Structure 1
Amino acid sequence: MIPESFITLAMQVDEVFLLIGGAILVIEIAEAWFKGNLKGKTWLEMLASASTQVPYLLLETTMMTALYFGLYIFSAEIVTWHLPTSWPWLIAAILLADLTYYWEHRIAHRVRLLWTQHAVHHSSRDYNIVTAVRFGPLESLWSFIAHLPMVLVGFSPDVVLGSVILVQAYQTWLHTELIGKLGPLEWVLNTPSHHRVHHGCDAKYLDKNYGGILILWDRLFGSFQVEEERPRYGLTTDFDSQNPVKVWFSEMPALWRDIKRAKSARELRGRLFGPPGWKP
């Protein structure tokens, strides 16, 4: 398979998962309506989640397009070694992208500067399929940086980008409470049950289940937690706004205040690159 065909296939798979997500959303809305839980706040929360696509896509079509254009030139001119694009190598690329996503995701939870972007995805107190598209404006920049080693190994930018799309597309259906536990699949795959844990702000659920497609990485690296009682969703802080601008930049005001308060270079490094909640 040529790399261009692979990325086309990845886009088609992404569209399939979007259709699945749309079907789940219809069922979620119908269920909430029958139960009398479809309040105005629910709609506002969904709109706030969807609104994050405005700055995200704006940066995708400008900054990220330019960066990927540069990556294609770098791969063609500097990286003189290229891996085959046969199916065994494509499967290896998807697995490597999934492992990369695990560490990219885990680091984003533990480095405050990166958390300012990823916290947007976690800031909703509701948990439904629309949460899947709730992104920080600059999340894709960190993803781009994290996947650069794949290009240096010899995978073409098309294969890397296609693999990233597949890992992200798979996660669309995870953002729902409609689907319970899935038996033996829970041992290998990331499932809605595992991902609900990841979105929980209860102490036992914090910083668990970072996986994209496979939950094996969490089991291997000690970050796995089974879903027991229903999680309380959202951030540990009391963020409960449906104002789109506040949702987009929810963590930035506090970070800016802490930067201005920093009394030394060490403290500034801690405020920027320490874990969320770091104090001198």
Structure 2
Amino acid sequence: MQPQTVQALAIVAVLCAFGLAELAQRRFFPSEATREDNRLDIAVTLLFPLISGAVLAASTALCAWLIPAQRDALAHWPVWQMLLVLLLADDLTQYFWHRLSHTSVMWPLHRAHHSAAYMSVRIVYRNNAFYYALMPGLWLSGVLLYMGFGWVYVGYTIVKLTVIIGAHSAVRWDQWLYRYRVLRPVAWVVERLISTPATHFAHHALVQDDGVGHYTGNYGNLLFLWDVLFGTAHITRRYPPAYGLTDDRAHGPEPWLAQFVYPLKRSRRAETVLGSSSHAPPK
């Protein structure tokens, strides 16, 4: 079986597992979801594999043109070295890409991820298409695949996406670590090492002045350790009471297509960052 097939099947299995758990808890169809939310969630989930696949393919094609002699040049590296490089080239760059996306210029490409007034596996890939098309980590991953990271990259992405899916899921798996005193030392390590529902839900909070919400931090994807190291971590072991964006509460939801492909499609809403050259910062 080809590596890409194994990767796709594993990720679909993880998405389905968390999705079924949300269904069992009656959280997969949140009452907060609007028609625009439903359309955007479906479109992004279906098209993300095509977008990310196109970026990886383009990256490897550029390598074949520019550095043909480097094909599989690093295939002899031990697994631990490949994993370290992937953490730096993919996950660390994504931390900074995510952090940059909360500035005024980049915010329109990331706004869709925060416009959902709910947490769920439905929003894992919910971003503007250009957010992924320009993501440095995807382009660098294509280079590393060309240079021989193959199966190690597949294993890495399965683990990473399992963590990311779990951090967005309404299942809130980390609450079990907080509930039992014997697990609290484990929780202390886990919540500082990887993204968890409590820390990532805080990043999606509607407000930041309640001691729980922290949308100006908790940017980590696989490793929350980056937030700890760079001073953007906020750990409370609590979950925000509300999610989404204040401008949507005031003016109504943005059209799903404008959120997905801006600036190719612009919003006609009176107050918007998706319809003019004025890109106000988030919140």
TM-score by length of 2: 0.70
Q: Tell me: CA distance 1:109–1:247, structure 2 relative to 1, closer, same or farther (3 Å).
A: same
SS of alignment partner, residue 190 of structure 1? coil
Which one-letter code corresponds to 2:219 in the other structure? Y
Q: Is the 8 A contact 2:194 2:222 kept in 1?
A: yes
| Residue from 5, 8, 19 that aligns with 2:13 | 19
Shift of 1:121: 1.6
| Residue from 205, 218, 222 that aligns with 1:213 | 222
Task: Report whether the alignment pairs 1:234 with 2:239.
Answer: no
Task: Report whether the alignment pairs 1:108 with 2:113.
Answer: no
Alpha-carbon distance in structure 1 between the residues aligned to 2:53 and 2:91: 24
Q: Is the 8 A contact 1:136 1:248 kept in 2?
A: yes
Alpha-carbon distance in structure 1 between the residues aligned to 2:95 and 2:72: 28
Task: Report whether the alignment pairs 1:248 with 2:226.
Answer: no
Which one-letter code corresponds to 1:159 in the other structure? F
Alpha-carbon distance in structure 1 between the residues aligned to 2:84 and 2:169: 29
Shift of 1:246: 4.0
| Residue from 22, 26, 29 that aligns with 1:32 | 26
Q: Tell me: CA distance 1:73–1:217, structure 2 relative to 1, closer, same or farther (3 Å).
A: same
Task: Report whether the alignment pairs 1:198 with 2:191.
Answer: no
Which one-letter code corresponds to 2:149 in the other structure? V
Q: Tell me: CA distance 1:51–1:187, structure 2 relative to 1, closer, same or farther (3 Å).
A: same
Q: Is the 8 A contact 2:112 2:126 kept in 1?
A: yes
Could you say what the CA RMSD is over the residues aligned between the two structures, in angstroms? 4.0
Output one character per residue of 1:248-276: Cα deviation in whole Å (capped at 9) or x when no partner. Answer: 257854457543xxxxxxxxxxx57xx72
Shift of 1:58: 5.3
Which one-letter code corresponds to 1:248 in the other structure? F
| Residue from 178, 196, 201 that aligns with 2:171 | 178
SS of alignment partner, residue 138 of structure 1? helix
Please list every run of 5 or more consecutive structure 2 residues that lacks an aligned counterpart in the other structure: 178-186
The answer to which structure has the higher helix fraction is: 1
Q: Is the 8 A contact 1:83 1:89 kept in 2?
A: no
Which one-letter code corresponds to 1:162 in the other structure? Y
Which one-letter code corresponds to 2:68 in the other structure? A
Q: Is the 8 A contact 2:74 2:147 kept in 1?
A: no
| Residue from 157, 162, 170 that aligns with 2:153 | 162
In structure 1, the partner of 2:111 is 119
Which one-letter code corresponds to 2:221 in the other structure? G
Output one character per residue of 1:60-94: Cα deviation in whole Å (capped at 9) or x when no partner. Answer: 56566334411343343589985843212112123
Shift of 1:225: 1.0
Alpha-carbon distance in structure 1 between the residues aligned to 2:108 and 2:199: 23
The correspondence of residues 43-192 of structure 1 with structure 2, limited to 5 A, is 45-53=37-45, 56=48, 59-60=51-52, 65-76=57-68, 84-96=76-88, 97-112=90-105, 114-144=106-136, 148=140, 151=143, 156=146, 159=149, 162=153, 165-166=157-158, 167-168=160-161, 170-179=163-172, 180-181=174-175, 182=177, 183-184=187-188, 185-192=190-197
Q: Tell me: CA distance 1:187–1:43, structure 2 relative to 1, closer, same or farther (3 Å).
A: same
Alpha-carbon distance in structure 2 between the residues aligned to 1:55 and 1:85: 33
Alpha-carbon distance in structure 1 between the residues aligned to 2:138 and 2:7: 23
Alpha-carbon distance in structure 2 between the residues aligned to 1:196 and 1:92: 27
Output one character per residue of 1:203-254: Cα deviation in whole Å (capped at 9) or x when no partner. Answer: 2412211112111110110110124352421224216538532442578544
Q: Is the 8 A contact 2:52 2:138 kept in 1?
A: no
Output one character per residue of 1:98-119: Cα deviation in whole Å (capped at 9) or x when no partner. Answer: 222211211122252x322221
Alpha-carbon distance in structure 1 between the residues aligned to 2:254 and 2:72: 49
Which one-letter code corresponds to 2:253 in the other structure? S
